[in-house]
């Protein structure tokens, strides 16, 4: 059966010292707790190796927020999937709407990044989601389906087992405007059906689908209560240890 996951996405926040303090605080808050979900910290590249050393690996996994679309070599400023893996990270977030919008990551580029991440033993949290205009025009199912198909559907079923999907409606990210539980459930069920049509019901049932976009301690329980919402990708609220813990506690 699929896992429930609460993953933090720190984005471009926290100096190394601040990030280490945050990771230690989260680690402390989870001590002695009987977790009902997997917990992941998605940190900037520079934090990965140090954070991996200060958290309990039986409770907290580490994720990067990006990796290069090239294996290695003369690509100044880039960080490869192999390098991410060597830090102790086990996940990488790919396809976040901020990467698609500000860094022009196309479905083709993302397909390559996904393949390199999997080849290097990383699991992928793959983000999809429509912008407000697409929601208003009623084309959000088509948009999300195309994002999944174009970057993921050349994977084999075995490879796809290492993919976590995250539905993040762009209009809900960092805006304080959350999808309603019904809107989230409707899209998550659609995503699961899309996966089932390609890989079969068993693979679809085993796929974790996270919701992201202004999820917080106040709305997490209601969102996670939906049958096809298997946890969250948490931005702003993951920067405050008590809020992040409260989102994790939504599964208790």
Q: Tell whether residue 236 is a contact of ligand PGA (CB under 6 A).
A: yes
Per-residue b or e along 59-98, where b marks 16 or more CB atoms closer than 10 Å to that residue's CB: ebbbbbbbbbbeeeeeeeeebbbbbbbebbbbbbbbbbbb
- The half-sphere exposure of 97 on its side-chain side, counting CA atoms within 13 A, is 20
Q: Tell whether residue 234 is a contact of ligand PGA (CB under 6 A).
A: yes
d(CA 19, CA 51): 8
The Cβ of residue 42 has, within 10 Å, a number of other Cβ atoms equal to: 27
Instruction: Return the residues of window 163-202 that contact ligand PGA according to CB under 6 A.
Output: 168, 173-174
Q: Which is nearer to ligand PGA, 183 or 198 (CB)?
A: 183
Among 30, 235, 245, 248, binds ligand PGA (CB under 6 A): 235
Q: Tell whether residue 6 is a contact of ligand PGA (CB under 6 A).
A: no
Cβ-in-10-Å burial (0-12, 13-18, 19+) of 144 comes to buried
Q: Tell whether residue 44 is a contact of ligand PGA (CB under 6 A).
A: no
- The half-sphere exposure of 195 on its side-chain side, counting CA atoms within 13 A, is 25
* # residues near ligand PGA by CB under 6 A: 13
Instruction: Give me the catalytic one of 47, 96, 98, 130.
Output: 96
Q: Which is nearer to ligand PGA, 217 or 236 (CB)?
A: 236
Catalytic annotation present for 96: yes
Q: Tell whether residue 9 is a contact of ligand PGA (CB under 6 A).
A: yes
Question: Which residues are catalytically annotated?
Answer: 96, 168
Residues that bind ligand PGA (CB under 6 A): 9, 168, 173-174, 212-215, 233-237
């Amino acid at each position: 059966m699929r896992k429930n996951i609460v993953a933090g996405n720190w984005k471009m926040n926290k100096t190394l010292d601040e990030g280490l303090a945050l990771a230690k605080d989260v680690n402390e808050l989870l001590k002695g707790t009987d977790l009902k979900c997997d917990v992941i910290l998605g940190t900037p590249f520079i934090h990965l190796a140090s954070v991996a050393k200060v958290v309990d690996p039986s409770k907290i996994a580490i994720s990067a927020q990006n990796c290069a679309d090239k294996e290695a070599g003369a690509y100044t400023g880039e960080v490869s999937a192999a390098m991410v893996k060597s830090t102790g990270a086990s996940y990488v977030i790919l396809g976040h709407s901020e990467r698609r919008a500000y860094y022009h990551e196309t479905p083709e580029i993302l397909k390559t990044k996904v393949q390199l991440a999997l080849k290097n033993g990383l699991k992928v949290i793959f983000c999809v989601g429509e912008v407000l205009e697409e929601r208003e025009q009623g084309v959000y199912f088509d948009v999300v389906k195309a994002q999944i198909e174009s970057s993921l559907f050349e994977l084999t079923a075995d490879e796809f087992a290492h993919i976590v999907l995250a539905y993040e409606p762009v209009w809900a990210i960092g805006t304080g405007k959350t999808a309603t539980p019904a809107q989230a459930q409707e899209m998550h069920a659609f995503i699961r059906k899309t996966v089932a049509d390609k890989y079969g019901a068993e693979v679809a049932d085993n796929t974790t689908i996270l919701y992201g976009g202004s999820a917080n301690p106040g709305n997490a329980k209601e969102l996670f209560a939906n049958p096809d919402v298997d946890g969250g990708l948490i931005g702003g609220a993951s920067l405050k240890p008590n809020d992040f813990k409260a989102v994790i506690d939504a599964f208790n």
